[in-house]
Every structure is written in structure tokens, then in C-alpha cells.
Amino acid sequence: MKYLSIDFETTGLEAGVHSPLSFAAIWDNGDPSIERLPIFEYKFAWQRVILDITAARINYELICEYLRGAKFTDQPPTVAGFDKPEDFKDRFMSWLVGECGFNPIKDRVNLAGKNPSFDHAFLKTLGITCCRHRHIDPAHYFVDWAKDEAIPGLSDCLKRAGITGLTLHTAKDDAMAIVLLMRSYLGKHSEALRVVVPEVQR
């Protein structure tokens, strides 16, 4: 099954109140080479946002990148590498169709993520309505049912899978982490699940 691994970095937790700062999506089409998987990235140039203090701490580097590059003589400010929120929908859908072979008339997207319901809510605020409502969260595959008191977070899942080299709380690496976790789990259980898992080549 093909799926879209997504991640948003945002100004807070409430879709419709807070705003996306950056977004990444990786289309896992089963290609053995991770490097060949289609990747979409978008950083948002907002004029006004509501910023939660915790989100400010997590996304400090991204916010500083925006502020350092902003030309405040322009209204709204323009920053190299950051794009208008109103352009997101057309660019994202063009990528889905052109790079992923998505048919917007008949297809629906399977979403995966570290908190896919959260990310799906932000996608909806940006006008993306082509995703299925059931989501994939690989954290459930890495629960220690004897010791855990809650579903493990992304960093714990990566440790349990033996995956290193990613910078968490960046949209692209968080989306890639989901792909690697999915392939790690399915690779270990492919015989029992009767699935063919591509060998990961990075």
C-alpha cells in the first residue's frame, strides 16, 4: 500500500487558530531507494500569526531564519525560501499529480505521521480534502507493552528501531523518520504479515 508520510511544524496546537510554519511530505511508493522517493517541502511566509511559547521554543531556528531573511519593506514581507500560504494548495496538488501519479478525481491519499490526525487537521485548513480519514501511526508498532505507560514518542521509536542521523522537529526529517520506522517494522515482520518490503537503500 502506498502512503504519504507528512509532518507540519506549526505555531501551536490548534488548527484554525495557529498557523503552519513548514511542511514536508514523502510519497512512499515502495521504491527500494529512499533517495528516489518523491519529497515535497514548503515553508510559509505569514504576515501575522498566533505563536504559542512552546512552539516558539521548538521552532526557534526556523523562526529566526524567517526573521533574518525578511524584507519588511514589502507587504507582506518576502523571504527567500518561504512562500505565500495561498499558493500552497496548488503547488502541493501539482506535486501529488505530477510526481506521485495521484488522480484527484478517483484517488484518496493514505496519510502517515507521528501525529497524523493533528497534521490532517492543518491540511484541511489549507484546502486539502483528498485524504482518507483513517491514518497510519507507526508508534503503535514500537510499544513495549510490559513497560510503557503511554504510546512512545518519535525519538523513543527511533531508538528502539536503531535508527539514527535525523534532526527531529524539522518537517522533512520527521516525515522521513516515519518512512524508516514503517520499513523497519514491516521488514522485521514481513513473513508473518505476508508483505514484500523493499530493502532500504540510503
Average pLDDT over residues 44-51: 93
Q: pLDDT tens-digit profile of 90-138?
A: 999 999 999 999 998 999 999 999 999 999 999 999 999 999 999 999 9
Confidence of residue 73 (pLDDT cuts 50, 70, 90): confident
Q: Where are the domains of the chain?
A: 3-193
Confidence of residue 196 (pLDDT cuts 50, 70, 90): low
CATH architecture observed for domain 3-193: 2-Layer Sandwich (3.30)
Report DSSP letters for the chain, one per residue.
--EEEEEEEESSS-BTTB-EEEEEEEEE---SBGGGS-EEEEEB--S-----HHHHHHTHHHHHHHHHH-BTTSSS-B-TT-B-GGGHHHHHHHHHHHHH---TTT--EEEE-SSHHHHHHHHHHTT---EEEEEE-GGGGG--TTT-SS---HHHHHHHHT-----TTSHHHHHHHHHHHHHHHHHHTHHHHT---PPPB-
pLDDT score of 193? 45
